[in-house]
Every structure is written in C-alpha cells, then in structure tokens.
Structure 1
C-alpha cells in the first residue's frame, strides 16, 4: 500500500512540474507578444483608425504567426476544434510555444525593417520549420515533458 501511495505522490509531483513548465512557456510567449504588438503599433497602424480597425490589424498579425507556425488561422483552428476549451496557442506543445516566442520577436524586427506581410510570412514559416525540426527530440526539452 505504501508503495502505491508513493508512486501516486511521485506521479502528482511530475504532473505538477509539467504543468508549471508549460505555463512558463505560455507566459514567455505572452511576454514576447508585447514586443510584437509594440512593433505593430509603431509601424503598421496609421493614425486616426477606429478601435475596430486597430484590433483587426493586431488580429491579422497574430494570425500571420499562427499560419507561419501552425499552418492555420485561429478561426480555422476553432472550426476544427469546436469542443476545445482553449485557443490554438493554449493547446500548443512546448516546442511550438518556444518557436512562437522566437517568431514573435523576429516578426517585430521584420516589421521594424518595413518588410511586407507576405514576405514576413514566408520567412517566419521557414524559420518555424527549421526551429521545430531542431527542437523535436531535443534532450533538454524532453526532460521537461
């Protein structure tokens, strides 16, 4: 009986650690998103737009990252996953969240350089593919799982 209880306790600790790791990565992606939104605000939003149009620009750029990484927009993902409680990013793997954080920062740099959205999408997709391939099987990330 003690062995079973100890096993259960260890499994609970392991699950807690995994959840904290995932939350850390999700938080990191959210923090980096501020860098991304600042670049959008400073470079892509013209003066005198309505709040609705400004929100559209932010959503459009968020979907640029979604398409570059996940291959679909948030709306497409919601249609495919109607029973999901979260959104596309809430359901992302640790590897995807690491890459998302990276491409948010890279996109901010590309926006500041004045690179068009279609060119940015191509570059970010290529970067996302390269980084995901590099991260899959990474021993350090495997330890977090």
Structure 2
C-alpha cells in the first residue's frame, strides 16, 4: 500500500455492510472479516479455513510475487507444501509475519479485522458465495463512481476559480497599468505583456516563444500545461494582481512569481490528489 493518508468507506452488499480502507487510488483494501460474516458468526474461523486451502495459498503467493518485491518465496513454499493437510492451520497474522505479505493486512481497534487488497477480497468472496461476490462488486463500483464524480466536481471548481482569478488579474491591470491615454493597440500589448509575465514565471518562455517552438501545435502554451502548472497558474494570477496593486515593477514581480511557481510546483509534483485529477481529465 502507498503511504498517503487513508480514509474509510463502507459498501452495502445486499444488506451486508462491508468496510473498505482506501487511499484514494486503486489499492483499496476490503474487510474479509465483514465478508466472512455473511457465512458465519465466527468470521475469523471462516478466514482461517479459507487459508488452509492449497488453491488459496497458490493464489495469494502469485499475487504477492506480482505485486510485492519483498515477498519471501521460501516461506511461501513451506506453506504451499503443507496446505490441504488436516494438520495445517494458518492465520492471517502468521501469513503476514512469515512471508512479509502485503496483500492481506490485520488491523486492530474498534474498526479492526482482517482486510485484503480488492483482488484478494473478491477471490475470497467467490469462495464464500459467487452471488454475494456480485453484490460486493456492484456496490464497490458504485463507490468508485461516486469518488470519480467528486473528483470531477473538484476539477470543475478549479476551472471556475481559474476563470475568476483571470478576471481579478485583468481588473488589476486595468485599474493600475492602463492609462486613459493608451490606444486600443497599446492596451492589448499591456495585457499580453502581463500574461507573459506569468508565462515566464511558470513556463520560462513567452507565448510567442512557445508558438515559434511549437508551430505544428494548435492552441497556446497554457493549453498544453500539466494539471500542476494549471493549479499554480491560478495562484500566480492572484499573486500578480496583488503585486500590481502594491506598485511593484514588472521585473520585481517576475522574480517573486518565479520563486512562488517553483515552490508550489515542487509541492504539487507528487501530490496524489493532483494525480487523480490528472488521470480523470485524461479519461474524459
């Protein structure tokens, strides 16, 4: 599992509530304990019985080999050789501690229990009941759809904020940099120059320089910005408007805006929420 902050969610599979530990990506872990309650009031016994099967051990071992570079194959082979025998007993905790497995986790506390990566949890659900598994998958898909809808809302809000900040920026230019004596052409140049202050601060080039280097592309420099750059651009427009009102000259503003841009881009570069927005936008 990745290290970003996790949150808990719940799905409802034909009346049965099943807990999920999610980190907002594809590495969701579903409660085997809750799934097992569909079959028995002693869910821990159900999970241990499932772990005794040779097919289960082979499946778990294969999943770990694919997803876990630290998985211990020697210890796994020992479990595989014993699986299926009447004397063989295996708990989730023993499987985890002996093989360094990551596909199954054991959580303590009020909302604890045994959780497994969704790939494994669906396999466990099939063993419990193929019909029940379908109910689980259906509501899990509903949950992920809701998450994507929330991301879409965040994306649209960001676009609205970008438009609002653009207006704040142009109003600041109009009030502080444009004289009533300027011609329409000179006014247009003033706006373009200030837009290029932002372009230089963020992209390191003006709009014209970008067009000269990318004559085969349609649109402008901002049309090809990353999600991180677009978020920073929203902030730079607001900051530049404040700098203009404070009376800072263009050179001073460019230096300060570049510092801000570099700092914010560094913070956003590996931000999981931003990556999710980026993936959502690509899939539209």
**Does the 8 Å contact 1:99/1:128 carry over to 2?**
yes
State the Cα RMSD in Å: 2.1
Deviations 1:27-59 (A, max 9, x none): 532331110000000001112210000000000
Partner of 1:50: 183
Structure 1 stretches of 4+ moved >2 Å: 16-31
Q: Which residue, out of 126, 141, 145, partners 2:274?
A: 141
Pairing partner for 1:82 from 215, 218, 228: 215
Specify which of 249, 252, 255 is matched with residue 122 of structure 1: 255
Aligned partner (choices 58, 80, 99) of residue 232 of structure 2:
99
In 2, the alpha carbon distance for the partners of 1:19 and 1:76 equals 33
Instruction: Give 1:116 shift.
Output: 0.6
Tell me, yes or no, if structure 1 residue 62 matches structure 2 residue 195.
yes
RCO greater where, 1 or 2, for CA within 8 Å and sep 6 or more? 1
Q: Which runs of 5+ in 2 are unaligned?
A: 1-144, 280-284
TM-score, normalization by structure 2: 0.43
The structure number with the bigger radius of gyration is 2
Aligned partners of 1:70, 1:21: CA distance in 2, in Å? 24
2:246 to 69, 88, 113: 113
Post-superposition offset of 1:20: 8.5
- Find the aligned partners of 1:81 and 1:70 in 2 and give their Cα distance: 14
Per the alignment, in what secondary structure is the counterpart of residue 179 of structure 2? Answer: coil
Matched residues, number = 131
1:89 is paired with a residue whose SS is helix
Question: Retained in 2: the 8 A contact 1:26–1:97?
Answer: no
Residues 70, 19 of structure 1: CA spacing in aligned structure 2 closer, same or farther, 3 A cutoff? farther
Question: Structure 1: how far apart are the matches of 2:261 and 2:216?
Answer: 27
Greater helix fraction, Structure 1 or Structure 2:
1
Structure having the higher strand fraction is: 2
Which of 161, 172, 183 aligns to 1:39? It is 172
SS at match of 2:168: helix
Task: Provide the C-alpha distance between the structure 2 equivalents of 1:96 and 1:121, rounded to a whole number of angstroms.
Answer: 16
TM-score, normalised relative to structure 1: 0.82
SS in 2 for 1:48: coil
